[in-house]
Amino acid sequence: MPSSRPFAKWIEENQDKLVDRLAESVAIPSVSGDASYRPEVHRMGGWLADTLTGLGVSVKSVPLGKQNLDGQEIDLPPVLLGEYGSDPKKKTILVYGHYDVQPALKSDGWNTEPFSLSEDKETGRFYGRGSSDDKGPILGWLNVIEAHTKTNTEMPVNLKMVFEGMEESGSDGLEELVVAESKKFLSNVDAVCISDNYWLGTTSPCITYGLRGLAYFQVSISGPGADLHSGVFGGMVHEPMTDLFAVFSKLVTPSGEILVPGIADKVAPLTAEEKARYEVIDITVADFESAAGGKVTLSDDKATTLMGRMRYPSLSIHGVEGAFSAAGAKTVIPASVRGKFSIRLVPDLTPQDVNELVTKYLNDEFAKLGSKNTFKVEMLSGGMPWVASIDHWNYKAGTKATETVYSKTPDFTREGGSIPITLTFADALGKSVMLLPMGRGDDGAHSINEKLDRSNFIQGSILLGEYLTEVANFAE
């Protein structure tokens, strides 16, 4: 049964006012990836700081210096550090969100103006850029604070807030700030809650406790001094593209099995309890086919499909740089090509391990070819996987809150991709981090027609309040 607490009732009854605030925030086109929009990102930061201050939050706006974008040197948007309550008897929860958004133009194919929140009364959906990613969730926290104030309910925890304006553009400067503040502003944080992802599907709430890491590789093969004509040189020289195809065909089978020796051995074994967790997740293989836009899943079994995404490594070949890549027919022998692939990591695979295994294996495979070309393997970037314990009180609180608001146990999910800030908080603070989403899997965060369902905004705000309330109950 839904929450009957006074703050929840206030949110239900005042929802139109809360939606107006969401509309106000969506109306500021705070696109961080385009220099010409940068003043709007700063305006959004100012609007958010003022709104927080108006609710009694003490806010510090931390400048992050300058960046070079589109050939201009411009100011990075500030990080807002908010503090609400400092009762030493209460737990302190750090919440994170970002007030910048993805680019959006009506002409991209939006049905409505992207920077004007518009409601479809029939479906109860609010369309607008940032509605779900991530202005709705940020305002969820504000709704909880306001509801407690208006109903004279004491906040169950102390809140610390980190709201950044560069998430969609690489979170420039954030990691350094978090590390620097970990022994200062963030030193007394007991747990972290991030609301910046989505339900897996459209009907069941979830809590996310894991993310895959990444090891991104570039393999460079070169030989001739310049691109050659295949009429003149075909049949005379070792061709880098032939070598690349020979080597990359040894990376992964068409059914997804990674062929690099040693990788499978390092994957933490699957427990029965863990397997059961995937079997109950409310999703079907057909849902994934529909998300992929084709009947191309590797397995017809739901749990296997879910684990392929969430708890096993995967290897994808992304492309080739330096070869012919346009339409048509060009008879070139590319002189120097760079093949790109990446491996998604899960415990206990570290980028360092994988780099060693991949480099040795590919060098050995190349040596077998007997080619006179030169060969180089590099790891361009590496990020650790992350998995949290769902037995921590932070997760117990999130679970209980979800059961209260949605009358069902949340799906416990892991994301296949990475959300770097999660790892930053987990590493810098050494505390439990939980991802507690507000929106649904079909919100279209980075697509046209991004939306947030009214029920997700309202019940999602109540969920955040319930979570804070349960923290006070579960915390040890």
Binding site residue list: 98, 133, 168, 196, 229, 331, 344, 418, 446
Contacts of 247 (CB under 8 A, 6+ apart): 219, 221, 339, 362, 365, 366, 369, 375
284 contact, one of Zn ion, a copy of itself, none, CB 5-8 Å limit per kind:
none
Which of 40, 164, 167, 415 is catalytic? The answer is 167
Q: Which is nearer to Zn ion, 161 or 343 (CB)?
A: 161
Q: How far is the CB of 97 from Zn ion (least distance, A)?
A: 8
CA distance 435 to 210: 9
Taking CB under 5 A as the criterion, the residue among 40, 100, 196, 415 binding Zn ion is 196
Q: Which is nearer to a copy of itself, 29 or 240 (CB)?
A: 240
24 catalytic, yes or no? no
Q: Which is nearer to a copy of itself, 67 or 371 (CB)?
A: 371
**Stretch binding Zn ion (CB under 5 A), from 43-51, 134-142, 403-411, 415-423:** 134-142
134 catalytic, yes or no? no
**Stretch binding a copy of itself (CB under 8 A), from 50-58, 145-153, 209-217, 391-399:** 209-217
Q: How far is the CB of 41 from a copy of itself (least distance, A)?
A: 24
**67: β partners:** 74
CA distance 57 to 55: 6
**Stretch binding a copy of itself (CB under 8 A), from 129-137, 169-177, 212-220, 274-282:** 212-220
Q: Rule CB under 8 A: is residue 262 a binding residue for a copy of itself?
A: no
Q: Which is nearer to a copy of itself, 86 or 325 (CB)?
A: 325
The footprint of Zn ion on this chain (CB under 5 A) covers a number of residues equal to 3
Closest residue by Cα to residue 135 from 41, 64, 208: 41
CA distance 419 to 441: 16
393 contact, one of a copy of itself, Zn ion, none, CB 5-8 Å limit per kind:
none
Retrieve residue 235's tokens: 């049949």
Distance of CA 213 to the CA centre of its chain: 12
CA distance 415 to 198: 10
Residue in the structure block whose two tokens are 């206990």: 348
Contacts of 70 (CB under 8 A, 6+ apart): 34, 35, 36
Taking CB under 8 A as the criterion, the residue among 68, 152, 255, 271 binding a copy of itself is 255
Peptide bond into 348 cis (omega under 30): yes
Retrieve residue 74's tokens: 């411009």
Site for a copy of itself in 399-438 (CB under 8 A): 415-418
62 contact, one of Zn ion, a copy of itself, none, CB 5-8 Å limit per kind:
none
109 contact, one of a copy of itself, Zn ion, none, CB 5-8 Å limit per kind:
none
Q: Rule CB under 5 A: is residue 453 a binding residue for Zn ion?
A: no
Taking CB under 8 A as the criterion, the residue among 60, 66, 106, 330 binding a copy of itself is 330
Number of residues written out for the chain? 476
Strand residues in 63-153 grouped as ranges (E): 66-69, 72-75, 79-84, 92-98, 118-120, 125-127
The tally of CA atoms less than 13 A away on the side-chain side of residue 353 is 20
Q: How far is the CB of 63 from a copy of itself (least distance, A)?
A: 28
From residue 425, give the alpha-carbon distance in Å to each of 56, 419, 420: 25, 11, 9
Site for a copy of itself in 104-123 (CB under 8 A): none
Q: How far is the CB of 11 from a copy of itself (least distance, A)?
A: 32
Q: Residue 446 — left, alpha, or beta (φ > 0 → left; ψ -120 to 50 → alpha)? A: alpha
The footprint of a copy of itself on this chain (CB under 8 A) covers a number of residues equal to 82
Q: Which is nearer to a copy of itself, 130 or 308 (CB)?
A: 308
Q: How far is the CB of 144 from a copy of itself (least distance, A)?
A: 30
Number of Cβ within 10 Å of residue 36's Cβ equals 11
Q: Rule CB under 5 A: is residue 100 a binding residue for Zn ion?
A: no
Q: Rule CB under 8 A: is residue 256 a binding residue for a copy of itself?
A: yes
Closest residue by Cα to residue 314 from 304, 301, 327: 304
Query: Where in the sequence numbering do the catalytic residues fall?
Result: 100, 167
